[in-house]
């Protein structure tokens, strides 16, 4: 009978003998050397030379130096503001409360406690030794109490010196002296590709420094809502998150070149697209807030559009650039007094290029009311210069009132190559479209998706000019259209009921 224990012992003995014999054979063949076997565990790649890592080490040293010199002047801005109804619950009208179940009802006359507040956290930086701090408007807007936390954990009460919603810049102040300060640089001299550092208190985790480069300049994001908004953001891939708002964006010379303000992200967290208000603009706003307690904004007094591909042909431009003057904001427009006309294309202001209609407002923001600027203009192919003395935007511009439209029966389908219907202005049409004139033509219908609709033409707009010719009758319009061939452009100057003008350059199918 087979003994499994004895069989297993014989198998183990045979295996051990074979292993010892194999080692002995390998040693005899000089296959294994003790020194080589040891080197498998002891060898390592040679360390890089000091010269090879010097550029990176220099950059690292620069980051360290910037952190040590700038961070002491960076603060956390803590705010309290009204949170609205308790717990965010909607307010229930009195007449509906009795319909609620008993556990939802509030006994008559019972107070629901003091209004709740919500906490906010942002960043800021000291620009003067006596406690002046620059931050974002949206950090302190609507705050009923502001406290500033310093790097040494001191907490001081702050008050608002001034704020500007149109640029998202605010100044606050704490009492004291001898505070550390930052150095302000020149954002105009900043170049795309430069290294920058973002410093602040993201997500309320404490002062944090992140590095990246300047990805772009002059970004308009359309996130600032008030009239006369100026958006000229510096874009960076340095990580910026909630709580970084108001903190400094710093170059490798340790100079602040921007105020971290916004991010583009599908998650609300950094996705590599951060934006900062240029420090040149912020400094201009801050100076006004300190000297006047408000922003003195220059006024050119024009309404402008971007140049589209058809505009390049109509205005005879060398490239698709500039800002097209479509009209004048008021009767006392400084630009109109200087000689500008609708259809002029502004190419530069005091030598600063105006690449787009958005860029014009950003360039003008660097000037003061009362200053005289030189505009380089192309007027239908002819280059001209105008000197304009800038006016001042009223401190509280009158709101534009728009009457509610009265429902009207749907007109018949639009006809014609432009995709519009137009008619002489009758008393009935003037009342329907709330026009203040009884002369000329009005657009009564626009074909959805048609050539004119794609250029922003709308019902109720008054036709002022076509191809630079004043239009008062349908016969004038028809005569111009009869001479147009497919592929040619019809340039229409239109006005809405508030008097705002646009130029629609429509290419005929």
User: Which ranges in 325-367 belong to alpha helices (H)?
Assistant: 334-338, 357-364
* Residue among 138, 164, 215, 280 flagged as catalytic: 138
In degrees and rounded to multiples of 5, residue 364 shows phi and psi of -65, -30
**CA-to-CA dists, residue 303 to 12, 327, 379, angstroms:** 97, 5, 16
Q: Cβ contacts of residue 411 below 8 Å, gap of 6+?
A: 421, 444, 445
Rg (CA), the chain: 35
- CA–CA distance, 257 with 134 (Å, rounded to integer): 13
DSSP string, 240-267: --TT-TTPEEEETTSEEEEEEEEE--SS
Strand 420-424 relative to strand 441-446: parallel, antiparallel, unpaired?
antiparallel
Query: Quick one: tokens of 300?
Result: 């050119």
Known active-site residue 270: no
Q: Comparing C-alpha atoms, which of 249, 269, 267 is closest to residue 259? A: 249
The residues facing 74 across adjacent strands are 125
Distance CA 447, CA 509 (A): 14
286 is an active site residue: no
Given CA atoms 468, 474, 480, 481 in this order, what sign does their dihedral have?
A: positive
Q: Where are the alpha helices (DSSP H) in 226-356?
A: 279-292, 309-314, 334-338
Would you call 287 a catalytic residue per the annotation?
no
Find the catalytic residue in 245, 333, 357, 491.
Answer: 245
Are the CB atoms for 327 and 495 separated by under 8 Å?
Answer: yes
Residue with tokens 């294309």: 345
Among 202, 259, 247, 199, which Cα is nearest to 68's?
199
Here the tokens at position 491 are 């340039």
Sign of CA dihedral 463, 466, 469, 472: negative
Task: Report the alpha-carbon distance of residue 134 to residue 272 in Å, rounded.
Answer: 24
Q: Indicate the helix (H) or strand (E) that contains 489.
A: strand 489-495
Q: Give the separation between CA 122 and CA 138, rounded to whole angstroms.
A: 9
- DSSP letters, 204-237, are GS--EEEEEEEEEEEE--S---STT----EEEE-
The one catalytic residue in 164, 168, 232, 237 is 168
- Compute φ and ψ for 335, nearest 5 degrees: -65, -40
Coil vs helix vs strand at 301: coil
In three-state secondary structure terms, 274 is strand
Q: Which residues are catalytic?
A: 138, 168, 245
């Amino acid at each position: 009978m087979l003994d499994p224990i004895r069989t297993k012992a014989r198998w183990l003995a045979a295996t051990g003998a074979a292993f010892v014999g194999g080692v002995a054979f390998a040693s005899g063949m000089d296959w294994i050397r003790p020194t080589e076997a040891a080197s498998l565990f002891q060898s390592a790649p040679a360390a890089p030379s000091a010269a090879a890592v010097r550029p990176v080490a220099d950059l690292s040293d620069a980051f360290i130096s910037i952190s040590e010199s700038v961070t002491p002047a960076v603060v956390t801005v803590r705010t309290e503001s009204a949170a609205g109804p308790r717990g965010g619950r909607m307010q229930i009208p009195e007449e509906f409360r009795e319909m609620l179940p008993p556990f939802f009802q509030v006994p008559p006359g019972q107070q629901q406690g003091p209004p709740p507040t919500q906490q906010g956290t942002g960043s800021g930086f000291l620009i003067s030794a006596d406690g002046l701090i620059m931050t974002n408007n949206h950090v302190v807007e609507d705050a009923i109490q502001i406290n500033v936390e310093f790097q040494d954990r001191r907490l001081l009460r702050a008050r608002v010196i001034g704020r500007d919603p149109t640029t998202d810049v605010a100044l606050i102040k704490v009492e004291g002296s001898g505070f550390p300060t930052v150095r302000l640089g020149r954002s105009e001299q900043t170049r795309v590709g430069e290294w920058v550092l973002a410093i602040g208190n993201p997500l309320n985790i404490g002062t944090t420094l992140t590095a990246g480069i300047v990805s772009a300049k002059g970004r308009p994001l359309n996130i600032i809502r008030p009239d006369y908004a100026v958006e000229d953001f510096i874009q960076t891939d340095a990580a910026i998150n909630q709580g970084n708002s108001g903190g400094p964006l710093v170059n490798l010379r340790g100079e602040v070149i921007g105020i971290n303000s916004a991010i583009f992200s599908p998650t609300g967290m950094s996705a590599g697209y951060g934006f900062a208000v240029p420090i040149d603009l912020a400094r201009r706003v801050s100076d006004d807030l300190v000297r006047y307690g408000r922003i003195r904004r220059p006024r050119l007094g024009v309404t402008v559009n971007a140049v589209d591909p058809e505009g390049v042909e109509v205005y005879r431009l060398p490239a698709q650039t500039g800002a097209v003057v479509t009209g004048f904001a008021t009767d006392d427009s400084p630009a109109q007094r200087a000689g500008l006309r609708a259809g002029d294309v502004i190419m530069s202001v005091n030598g600063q290029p105006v690449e787009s209609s958005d860029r014009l407002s950003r360039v003008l923001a660097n000037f003061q009311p009362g200053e005289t600027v030189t505009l380089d203009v192309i007027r239908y192919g002819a280059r001209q210069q105008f000197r304009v003395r800038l006016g001042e935007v009223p401190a509280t511009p009158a709101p534009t009132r728009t009457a509610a439209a009265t429902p009207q029966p749907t007109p018949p389908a639009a006809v014609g190559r432009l995709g519009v219907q137009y008619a002489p202005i009758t008393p009935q049409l003037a009342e329907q479209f709330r026009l203040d004139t009884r002369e000329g033509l009005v657009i009564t219908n626009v074909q959805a998706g048609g050539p004119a609709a794609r250029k922003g033409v709308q019902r109720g707009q008054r036709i002022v000019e076509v191809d630079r010719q004043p239009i008062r009758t349908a016969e004038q319009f028809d005569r111009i259209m009869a001479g147009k061939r497919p592929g040619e452009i019809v340039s229409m100057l239109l006005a809405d009921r508030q008097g705002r003008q646009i130029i629609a350059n429509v290419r005929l199918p």
